[in-house]
Amino acid sequence: MPSTAPGWPSPGGEQRGHCPAQGTPDPAELSFGAPCPVRRLLLLLGLAGLLAGTAAGTWLLVKRVKEPPAGQGSPQEQGLDVIPACEEGEEEEPVVRGAPSTGPCTGGGSSQCNGTPSVSFRISTANSLLEARLEAHPGWLLVCHGHWGPSLGTLLCQQLGYLSMTRQQGVKLRDVRVSAGQRFLQATPRQGGSLQDMWQVRSSCQSGRIVALQCSECGLQAGAVRVVGGTDAAPGRWPWQVSVCQGSRHRCGGSVLAPEWILTAAHCVHSFRQPPAPAWLVFAGIVTHGSLQPEAGVPVREIIPHPLYSDSSLDYDIALMRLQVPLNFSGAIRAACLPPSPQDLLQGTQCWVSGWGYTSPEQAQVAGTLKEALVPLIGTRRCNSSCVYKGELTARMLCAGHLQGRVDACQGDSGGPLVCWDGSMWRLVGIVSWGQGCAEPNHPGVYTNVAQLLPWIHRVTQIH
């Protein structure tokens, strides 16, 4: 995968040989009657031409195969009237936008919302207490347990980027140490709205209890793992990375979301020729791919591609795999977090892609060791401009990589994770999806924009 693309091999090279033995009729000699050195030169030239032709042909073919058809994901679809010109790429808009909330109040983070002050949440790592901050209100507030329920807990965990809620509790206020003047947030009994506009600030909690909340674990590596100046990934560095195989043959990457849920690309699993779910094996907790024993793979129970996935445009390139047996989480196997609902990510955000894909575009072989590469997010306007992808990106896609080329994901990395560290955890921001060639200048990697598809992920994982 992450490849440092070398130049194309030059056809030919130094050739030595002898003239055909005397007396052997040589068609070239018969027709041209050329003396030996000239004939040899002509032969060499012919051979070189043939090689160059074949190389160019293969290159064009490979390019065509990897290139999604033009005209898909039209600019209109994205609210752009025209494809931005090459120089118009300077980006102010976020690459990843906080997903719209269900209520009347969209925004989030620090934005004002219909005159209601916006609220952000966090869970204290020390005691699992839910804390909230209101804009224009100093400090963090605790949350009263009155009018609290499991659906609010689930909504909150999901909004914070967790797949699910694992536990919630009303903790007696007198059992926790609160500072003098501590203020509280009380939910108002209001159904179906967003999490934004349903709170009142109080100086105490009537119920005498406050909310403690635990969400599913994700986004942390075990202990201190680091890589120094290399592209081989250290064991445990990307514990959510899995290899999605047919038998023990690597097909795609994938990411662990929960012990029995894997997120991958729809194009990896969407074809009439694909075998049934149990023929797919997921290998987790591995770094080297060399000698995989099929017994170490976990069979897939169910494959759920996004219903709007399009094979031609690669729009909605996302699929969930439910495993037959849950994975045992360990230092080597963990889940990645999802993007939180109200978080914008800007161009230039440093993110990492990992996978066992080709390490150079012309070498059709998956890597023996998991590779990683730093690929900054690229603004969508720039990536859709006339000198890059010419309006082919839809709202479900984002770009990451380097416009000068050289570092990129490649074939075999598809389905794998693009993760960004947000200061507290690793979040799965993208899924390797497509690109024109690999590591070519002006053709960075295109990824499924996970933040845009969170409602679908939550719906599928909750109903199953």
Residue 352 touching ligand ARG (CB under 6 A): no
Near ligand ARG by CB under 6 A: residue from 130, 197, 435, 458: 435
CB-based contacts of 50: which residues, under 8 Å, 6+ apart? Answer: none
* CA pair distance 313, 394, nearest whole angstrom: 9
Number of residues that bind ligand ARG (CB under 6 A): 13
Residue 320 touching ligand ARG (CB under 6 A): no
Tell me the CA distances in angstroms from 99 to 210, 340, 389, 396, one per residue in order. 28, 8, 24, 12
Tell me the CA distances in angstroms from 170 to 49, 207, 211, 333, 349, one per residue in order. 78, 9, 5, 31, 38
Tell me the CA distances in angstroms from 343 to 132, 156, 196, 338, one per residue in order. 16, 14, 14, 11
Near ligand ARG by CB under 6 A: residue from 186, 241, 385, 414: 414
Residue burial 153-164, b: 16+ Cβ < 10 Å; e: rest: bbbbbbbbbbbb
* CA pair distance 310, 279, nearest whole angstrom: 24
Residue 317 bridge partners (DSSP) = none
Near ligand ARG by CB under 6 A: residue from 194, 241, 434, 452: 434
Backbone phi and psi for residue 131, each to the nearest 5 degrees, phi listed first: -125, 150
Q: Where does residue 170 fall: left (phi above 0), alpha (psi -120 to 50 degrees), or beta otherwise?
A: beta
Helix (H) or strand (E) holding 58: helix 36-66
Nearest residue (CB) to ligand ARG, 199 versus 283? 283
- Build a one-symbol-per-residue string for 353-382: x at contacts with ligand ARG by CB under 6 A, - elsewhere: ----x-------------------------
Nearest residue (CB) to ligand ARG, 142 versus 410? 410
Nearest residue (CB) to ligand ARG, 219 versus 445? 445
Residue 410 touching ligand ARG (CB under 6 A): yes
Burial of 196 (0-12, 13-18, 19+ CB in 10 A): buried
Nearest residue (CB) to ligand ARG, 349 versus 414? 414
Residue 408 touching ligand ARG (CB under 6 A): yes
Distance separating the N- and C-terminal Cα atoms of the chain: 33
Pairing of strands 445-449, 426-434: antiparallel
Residue 68 touching ligand ARG (CB under 6 A): no
Q: Which stretch binds ligand ARG (CB under 6 A): 46-54, 170-178, 241-249, 427-435?
A: 427-435
Q: How far is the CB of 411 from ligand ARG (least distance, A)?
A: 4
C-alpha 152: how far from its chain's center?
Answer: 28
Nearest residue (CB) to ligand ARG, 96 versus 432? 432
Near ligand ARG by CB under 6 A: residue from 323, 341, 413, 453: 413
Near ligand ARG by CB under 6 A: residue from 445, 450, 451, 457: 445
Which residues are the active-site residues? 267, 317, 414
Nearest residue (CB) to ligand ARG, 91 versus 440? 440
Tell me the CA distances in angstroms from 458 to 45, 106, 235, 239, 454, one per residue in order. 62, 19, 29, 22, 6
Instruction: Work out the widest C-alpha separation in the chain, in whole angstroms.
Output: 110
Near ligand ARG by CB under 6 A: residue from 221, 310, 349, 411: 411
Near ligand ARG by CB under 6 A: residue from 212, 366, 429, 432: 432
Q: How far is the CB of 314 from ligand ARG (least distance, A)?
A: 8
Q: Which stretch binds ligand ARG (CB under 6 A): 19-27, 75-83, 138-146, 433-441?
A: 433-441
Residue 241 touching ligand ARG (CB under 6 A): no
Q: Which stretch binds ligand ARG (CB under 6 A): 92-100, 210-218, 303-311, 434-442?
A: 434-442
Binding site for ligand ARG (CB under 6 A): 357, 408-414, 432, 434-435, 438, 445
